[in-house]
Chains A and B, each alone.
Chain A
Amino acid sequence: MDKVMRMSSERGVVIFTKSSCCLCYAVQILFRDLRVQPTIYEIDTDPDCREIEKALLRIGCSTAVPAVFVGGKLVGSTNEVMSLHLSGSLVPLIRPYQSLPY
């Protein structure tokens, strides 16, 4: 879906969330802890919410939200983010985008 392609290929860390989703909130907290300011798209406020959800699932996200993209590439949902982080592979991935102060 064009909209998703466009939004996800923005620079840096992009996260698709829903305002009611607390796991999405947890993922945002994690990135903030890692000194990254991600771009957040709350899809439930978007009129195309259903299509966006379907598109995210089609791209390969295990759950539609949270859907995390880094540098235009899909990282995955909460599971994938947590696994990457514990294996030490997340930080190198987001290092170019660590903009927040310590």
Chain B
Amino acid sequence: MNSTSTHFVPPRRVGIYEPLHQFGMWGDTFKSNISNEGDMNMTPSHIIIANNQKLDNNLSEGTSHGTGGTPHMFDQEASTSRHPDKIQRRLAQNREAAKKSRLRKKAYVQQLETSRLKLIHLEQELDRARQQGFYVGNGIDTNSLGISEPMNPGIAAFEMEYGHWIQEQNKQICELRTVLQGQVSDVELRLLVETAMKHYFDLFRMKSAAAKADVFFVMSGMWRTSAERFFLWIGGFRPSDLLKVLLPHFDVMTDQQILDVCNLRQSCQQAEDALSQGMEKLQHTLADCVAGGRLGEGSYIPQVNSAMERLEALVSFVNQADHLRHETLQQMHRILTTRQAARGLLALGEYFQRLRALSSSWTTRHREST
């Protein structure tokens, strides 16, 4: 009965949105609403534009002033004058549809608003993280050729967790510094030391999960700042480096402590060397695997399964390296007094902070010179 086309409705009637787009969203539902009524006089091509209060008024105006009042809404007089109750029903349906449409639009707009706020919040976090000088992915992984790869959810989660880890780390370092400058009980200090140790152990746990998701990501150190990456050894810091950084910072040590530390340095170095050589062997065997068969014929790795197994072994190496870091920290904690351990953890924390700051300075210096 009523034939109306979307083109006849001027944009201002539907507010700020593109009329065509909007009808694409809501128009189909009107079609289904209408066709469900089973009314003989309605054909599927009739789309009722009814998401505007004004339109509703027009419809009611139309009924009171007769069908000729709004020519772009009503087609032929004949069909409407013959069935007044059908008109009423149709008007009611229109009002219903209009109401539903308004509610849907409201929900959609609210969704947009929430997303917009989320986006602003995320951008702020990103800026803050970048200022702190560590690598933050832009949501899409790119390999060296600049080709986008879909972001691994395990890695995305890890990067976010690591960001929080750094923030917490900075807080703990600050607290240690403040507390050591004043008077503090051994009990309180022990608590701080335990918290700091646990914080490192949390990192190793996070890395283990990330290594399962993408071991190459952990190995590359891309989640760390550039200066930290320079010192990377199997996905993290060298345990022997840790000892080198810490040792000059201890005040008086007993003879037993000196002996214990000496032994720890040696065993740590031996364990590190063993793992390094294991890694080298892994590289050699993988290279042999990849170069297997005949190169130059455009064929793939003949024993690709064995190559994949080698890569699986990388996960074990990363875990072993972290285990070594864990044990080194644990042994230092055992050998030192609480106060010494607190000083040591503060020194270690500040060392990494300096590395991160150095990376930041380097990045900005690079920018200024271009």
| Interface of A toward B, CB cutoff 8 Å | 20-23, 25-27, 29-30, 33-34, 63, 78-79, 82-83, 85-88, 90-91
Contact = CB atoms under 8 A, between A and B. Distances in A.
Nearest to A28: B274
B327 A26 contact: no
B281 A82 contact: no
B270 A33 contact: yes
A8 B294 CA distance: 42
A70 to B, nearest CB: 16
A10 B317 CA distance: 29
Contact of A30 (B271, B306, B309, B334): B271
Given A20-B285, A22-B281, A85 B316 contact: no
By secondary structure, the B interface counts as helix
25 contacts: A20-B306, A20-B309, A22-B282, A23-B313, A23-B320, A26-B274, A26-B275, A26-B279, A26-B320, A29-B274, A29-B277, A33-B273, A78-B320, A78-B323, A82-B271, A82-B320, A82-B324, A82-B327, A83-B327, A85-B267, A86-B271, A87-B334, A88-B263, A90-B267, A91-B267
Interface in B308-361: 309-310, 313, 316-317, 320, 323-324, 327-328, 330-331, 334
B277 A26 contact: yes
Interface string B273-298: 11101110110010000000000000
A86 B273 contact: no
B193 interface: no
Contacts of A82: 271, 320, 323-324, 327
Contact of B331 (A20, A25, A30, A87): A87
B230 to A, nearest CB: 24
B34 interface: no
Interface residues of B, number: 30
Contacts of B281: 22, 25-26
Interface of B: 260, 263-264, 267-268, 270-271, 273-275, 277-279, 281-282, 285, 306, 309-310, 313, 316-317, 320, 323-324, 327-328, 330-331, 334
Contacts of A20: 285, 306, 309-310
B288 to A, nearest CB: 11
Given A82-B320, A83-B327, A88-B264, A25 B273 contact: no
B221 to A, nearest CB: 21
A88 B323 CA distance: 16
Contacts of B310: 20, 22
B271 A85 contact: yes
B278 A25 contact: yes
Contacts of A33: 270, 273-274
B320 A86 contact: no
Contacts of B268: 86
Contacts of B306: 20
